[in-house]
Structure 1
Amino acid sequence: MTFTAPGLSNKATKKLIGVMQERLSAFNDLHLTLKHIHWNVVGANFIGVHEMIDPQVELTRGYADTVAERIATLGGSPNGTAKAIEHDRSWKDYSVGRDTVQAHLGALDLVYVGFISSHREAIAIAGEIDPVTEDMFIGQTAELEKFHWFVRAHLENSSGELSNAGTKTEAAAAKKSR
């Protein structure tokens, strides 16, 4: 690295850039997953969910750009390629194809659980190094949690139980939510 933000050491910045690169790949994967769902959701309530997904796609694409620009600001080189997504991925590829609204939302619930949990881990690491990056991640998490709530509202019954409760995989969540 030839430079970093004033007050940050190169060692700390490299660690932070590593975390941000993983989040960049996660955001790129998330917006592709959301678009996949948008194209493949069918059945009752199709149009409402189809239209609910697009703002989520746009927001996550914007967050990918914000993270990439933060990496560059700190002297790193963001990698937004498909190969980077594969390299940085610690999660499985989205497994549901053409399916019902409820099936996709059941699976998407688990996607958001994993994504938000990982983002909270990134908040903790950034908080030890750089409050600016930490703040960026916190703001993103608030919006992601709101979208997660939108998804869960479709899965919840009047008693507050989720149709996909107890599932561990997207395929199982989709099947149980149908």
Structure 2
Amino acid sequence: MTQDLTPEYTVPGIEREAAGRLIGVLRLRLHALNDLHLTLKHVHWNVIGPHFIGVHEMIDPQVDRVREMADDVAERIAALGGVAQGTPGTLVAERTWDDYSIGRADAIAHLGALDLVYTGVVEGLRAAIKTAAEIDTATEDLLIGQLRDLEQFQWFVRAHLESAGGTLATSRAHTEEEAAAQGAELG
């Protein structure tokens, strides 16, 4: 993203240029959260198999919380003097990841792929927290709270993918398709 996001004004105590940097970071988090809640709904609608109901019902509260997170990030962007771009076109144009690649599939296959999705979202969020820590403790605090929830959601997903011996079925996966295939081996 090369556009200048420096706001005309921002919250007291933060320099405008620093707020612009933070707005840029938050825009990517907004895109990640909007993409994640759509991906979660996609999984919710397209999950099948013997674990269907457990996974189907586990996903909706995650969707609701991720939507709340997106709203919080968008409102923080606005408070900093920025514009919260929440349109699908902006998301697709600015995101740094590919679209979720699994269609109708077994619940455990979806969870395998979803584990990789959560890893990407969590890693991006941790990087955003580092930037926020340099600029604004209020934004850092907001993101840390979201990190706790997202890590918990990933733990819920991983609980379905872990053996009694503590091995994660998808630990060798590098793509969603590989993770889905490795997860499906459990199902």
Q: Same fold (TM over 0.5)?
A: yes
CA distance in 2, matches of 1:78, 1:21: 7
- Which residue does the alignment assign to 2:97? 91
- Which residue does the alignment assign to 2:30? 24
Give the CA deviation at 1:134.
Answer: 0.4
What is the TM-score of this pair, normalised by structure 1?
Answer: 0.99
- Which residue does the alignment assign to 1:54? 60
- Which residue does the alignment assign to 2:69? 63
After TM superposition, the structure 1 = structure 2 runs for residues 26-175 of structure 1, keeping only pairs within 5 Å, are: 26-175=32-181
CA distance in 2, matches of 1:31, 1:5: 29
Give the CA deviation at 1:84.
Answer: 1.4
Give the CA deviation at 1:126.
Answer: 0.3
Runs of 4+ more than 2 Å apart: none
Contact 2:8 2:16 survives alignment (8 Å): no
- Which residue does the alignment assign to 1:177? 183
CA distance in 1, matches of 2:132, 2:8: 21
User: What do the CA deviations read for 1:106-162 (whole angstroms, capped 9, x no partner)?
Assistant: 000000011001000000000000000000000000010001000000000001111
Give the CA deviation at 1:177.
Answer: 1.2
- Name the amino acid aligned to 1:114: G
| Structure 2 residues without counterparts, runs of 5 or longer | 1-6
- Name the amino acid aligned to 2:159: A
Q: Equivalent residue of 2:159, what SS?
A: helix
- Name the amino acid aligned to 1:174: A
> How many corresponding residue pairs?
178
Q: Equivalent residue of 2:160, what SS?
A: helix
Match 1:9 to one of 7, 12, 15: 15
What is the TM-score of this pair, normalised by structure 2?
Answer: 0.94
CA distance in 1, matches of 2:54, 2:68: 22
Give the CA deviation at 1:73.
Answer: 0.5
Q: Equivalent residue of 2:36, what SS?
A: helix
CA distance in 1, matches of 2:23, 2:42: 28
CA distance in 1, matches of 2:90, 2:61: 24
Give the CA deviation at 1:2.
Answer: 2.7
User: What do the CA deviations read for 1:73-98 (whole angstroms, capped 9, x no partner)?
Assistant: 11111000001111221111100000
